[in-house]
Amino acid sequence: MSTTTLIPCCSSANIISSSRQTTTTIRVCSVLGRNKNAPLLPPLNPKDPFLSKLASIAAVTPPERLLNRPADLDTPPYLDLFDSPTLMATPASVERSVSYNEHRPRRPPPDLPSLLLHGRIVYLGMPLVPAVTELIIAELMYLQWMDPKEPIYLYINSTGTTRDDGESVGMETEGFAIYDAMMQLKNEIHTVGVGAAIGHACLLLAAGAKGKRLMMPHAKAMIQQPRVPSSGLMTGSDVIIRAKEVIINKDTLVGLLAKHTENSVETVTQVMRRPFYMDSTTAKEFGVIDKILWRGQEKIMADAAPPEAWDKNAGIKSLDAM
């Protein structure tokens, strides 16, 4: 039977043998020069480079030289014994380089549109100006490149090429550009109307995949004629050219709306003479959307009588009839 015991003291290792058992006692010099009556210390870890180096120096250096050292507040104790000491990282460096929570991202999270894009969601929440058109088309093309078979979800809350007060902010070609991109994609596009879908934004809402055009219960849709941009100091001839272009854009918009809503061109032209506002129920009846996003209330809304029926049953006549 053989056992090994580590006992700190000031002399070198001694080996004691007996006839009944062999006991190997290793007496390791203490770096602090403690005497034989000093308390027992934990065993020396041979894989610790700092303690190993310190023990080797203490074995050949008198304890007085190690104990009677000049106080240097700028240098940690005993680091000057090494030829090229390497300090640990400062707390600030550790905090920057090591994550204390493995679930915390090591880099700042991306912006919100990028996070939505990761879920194949494209959110159109601004009027159709060139910068918005560029972003929407780029996101649609990127999602097709990522997977041409998975659907794309286009959420729409936009006033189209105008502001809410009717002032033009972009050319009609901005809406047509996004529409053409949607038609060229291989993916099935699910459109969802949230807030407002006015003008060309209403066209984009109606241009979704058949049966996948949705709308929030309190969202609004509106179709209107394209507007002539501010003419400023343009000549009369230039104003006429602009007006002709607006008429061409109007005819194109009417044809596309008639195609996707399955109404006649005459019907769409008639309702577009003035701004035609639609709530979710009217938009579904007109063919802009296929379903209202009620949570379990589709049957209740389907069974509810329209306002005209309530008025008729109550004996109330409309102003048009009067």
Q: Is residue 101 part of a domain?
A: no
Both 84 and 197 in a single domain?
no
CB of 220 closer than 8 Å to CB of 278: yes
pLDDT band at 55 (very low <50, low <70, confident <90, very high): confident
Task: State residue 205's pLDDT score.
Answer: 96
Task: State residue 3's pLDDT score.
Answer: 47
Q: Which of 159, 155, 163 is nearest to 139 (CA)?
A: 155
pLDDT band at 60 (very low <50, low <70, confident <90, very high): confident
Q: What CA–CA distance (Å, rounded) separates 219 from 120?
A: 22
* Chain segment 17-45, per-residue pLDDT in tens: 443 344 333 444 444 444 555 545 556 66
Q: What CA–CA distance (Å, rounded) separates 275 from 49?
A: 82
CB of 52 closer than 8 Å to CB of 60: no
Mean local confidence (pLDDT), 164-185: 88
Total structural domains within the chain: 2
Q: What CA–CA distance (Å, rounded) separates 155 from 226?
A: 23
Q: Is residue 317 part of a domain?
A: no
Both 198 and 56 in a single domain?
no
Mean local confidence (pLDDT), 153-171: 86
Q: What CA–CA distance (Å, rounded) separates 257 from 206?
A: 7
Task: State residue 312's pLDDT score.
Answer: 76
* Chain segment 98-135, per-residue pLDDT in tens: 444 555 556 666 677 778 888 899 999 999 999 999 99
pLDDT band at 239 (very low <50, low <70, confident <90, very high): confident
Provide the residue range defining the domain that includes 74. 2-89
Q: What percent of the chain has pLDDT over 90?
A: 40
Both 60 and 159 in a single domain?
no
Tell whether the model's pLDDT for residue 56 goes beyond 60.
yes
Both 65 and 174 in a single domain?
no
CB of 199 closer than 8 Å to CB of 178: no
Structure-token pair, residue 171: 């050319």
Query: Averaging pLDDT over each range in 45-54, 80-89, 172-181, which range is the top one?
Result: 172-181
Both 127 and 232 in a single domain?
yes
